[in-house]
Amino acid sequence: MAEVITMPRLSDTMTEGKVAKWHKKVGDKVKEGDILAEIETDKAVQDFESEINGTLLYVGVEEGAAAAVDSVLAIIGNEGEDISGLTGGAAAPSAGSEEKKSEEQPKAEAAQTVAAETPAGVELITMPRLSDTMTEGKVAKWHKNVGDTVKEGDLLAEIETDKAVQDFESEFNGVLLKQGVEEGGAAPVDSVLAIIGPAGTDVSAVGAAPQAAPASDKPAEQKAEAKTEEKEAPAVSSSSSDRVAISPLAKKMAQDKGVDINSVQGSGENGRIVKKDIENYQPAAKPAASAPAASAAAAQVAVSFVQGEDTETPNSQVRNVIAKRLAESKFSAPHYYLMVEINMDKAIEARKEINSIPDTKISFNDMIIKATAIALRKHPQVNSSWAGDKIIHRGNINVGVAVAIPDGLVVPVLKNTDQMSYTQISASVKDMASRAKNKGLKANEMEGSTFSISNLGMFGIETFTSIINQPNSAILSVGAIIEKPIVKNGQIVVGNTMKLSLACDHRVVDGATGAQFLQTLRTYLENPLTLLL
């Protein structure tokens, strides 16, 4: 009998999983213990093994796709077995595409309906998207009325966006048959702004249906080009371009091509320079210039820029969950920050002595982790968690160490850190950091932290603040060790200092409690021998 395999819950915070890779495909034989797939959770990628024998009859989640915990991941049973009752008509990968097609079909039919209702020669002008954040536009002023003859390049209207008022010119010849938006009125982007066509054409039915793609592809080009008008730069000419009648689009094109707009003859209304004038512009031969004129011309040489291209990277499951949890922490927990500067001279000497022991190599980060764990034992309130109607005081001290990976940030946990030696801390941190970057950490190695540490000192960052890693109530931010003048015994000498920043959840850790914790931590780091007492 076929068995339904559901998306497993591989961590306590996991709500959905992503299939990073399928190791079996439909029709393959599966034995107990075989790896079915690699599941990417909010913390790591883990192998998922089969617990039954049989044939893989159904795959509920495509490779690279995500699904909620307990949803159908796969079905295993006897070869040829009927599983229609188990899938319950659930959309398989192919069914998903059919559903998408069924959703797109009405849209295509609506587009065909509008196209069929548009008389020959009639062009629909839609409200353009003149900035990347624009959702609707307001007609500040109409420059053409219904019945007016319109030529390509003529100014139709002034459109007020969320950023500026911009001229909007026609790309068609004909008569303005309809104004879709009254002067002073606003309309969403892509709604009907105007209709241009032969005089006397009945357009009463045009645009009544939901707006679809225009009959001509020019408006699409117009919208793409109009985006470049958002930020207008000065024209290349050394003389003031404000006195030259030119459309914003033509002005931008002239700048990109290095065309002196003062030498262009406009073909638009009242000699206004429009797009086609710049496209068709041919510079005339110039007589030999005098030395000052030649110098001015040299200053006007256009600079050629290589246009960059925007790209997109789909978020991984890890990145999505990190973003969600950090946002929840920042906006739910009332953060406050305490900062202290530590004299690290004695810590530097202590580290040198420890590392002189054969087969021993510890870092300043290891020393900070050890000192933090001992300080937490003296200040248990900082090692607590908020639980709505109560505060949970954690019995164990488990320090989470933030590690950067390509997908974001993960926090491996050192269990019972206060009971670990320097060498144990050093070995554990190196091992977990290495496996974190290769997505080799187990889920239980990233759970159960009671306090977190984030160290950016190796990048030269002197001070910064962090967002608390819930359900912790505090996180320590560690800066770089800086050599600078300090006052010691009334004398200015060269010393080594390090800044620490403690972010606290005010619901659990009061200001005085956080300050006392930092005082204790400072004592341990400025006098490393006290850690041995």
Rounded Cα gap, residues 129 and 137, in angstroms: 8
Rounded Cα gap, residues 317 and 315, in angstroms: 7
517: DSSP letter: H
Helix, strand, or coil (residue 166): strand
Tokens of 105: 């079909």
Q: Within 10-156, where are the H helices?
A: 84-87, 93-117
Half-sphere exposure of 387 (CA within 13 A, CB side): 7
Tokens of 89: 């008509």
Taking a C-beta distance cutoff of 8 angstroms, is the pair 122, 196 a contact?
yes
In the chain, the N- to C-terminal Cα span, in Å, equals 65
**Dihedral angle at the C-alpha atoms of 62, 65, 71, 72, nearest 10 degrees?**
10
CA nearest 400: which of 442, 436, 452? 452
Rounded Cα gap, residues 474 and 158, in angstroms: 54
Q: Please, which residues have CB within 8 angstroms of residue 526's CB and are 6 or more apart in sequence?
A: 342, 343, 344, 346, 347
Give the residue numbers marked as catalytic: 506, 510
Beta bridge partners of 56: 76
27: DSSP letter: T
Backbone phi and psi for residue 456, each to the nearest 5 degrees, phi listed first: -115, 15
Rounded Cα gap, residues 141 and 157, in angstroms: 6
Q: Please, which residues have CB within 8 angstroms of residue 146's CB and are 6 or more apart in sequence?
A: 176, 177, 178, 179
Query: Distances in Å between the alpha carbon of 403 and those of 13, 434, 438, 454, 461?
Result: 19, 9, 12, 8, 16
Rounded Cα gap, residues 118 and 124, in angstroms: 9
Sole residue written with tokens 């005098």: 290
Continuous segment of H or E residues that includes residue 252: helix 248-257
Strand order in the sheet with 174-179: 123-126, 192-197, 174-179, 149-150
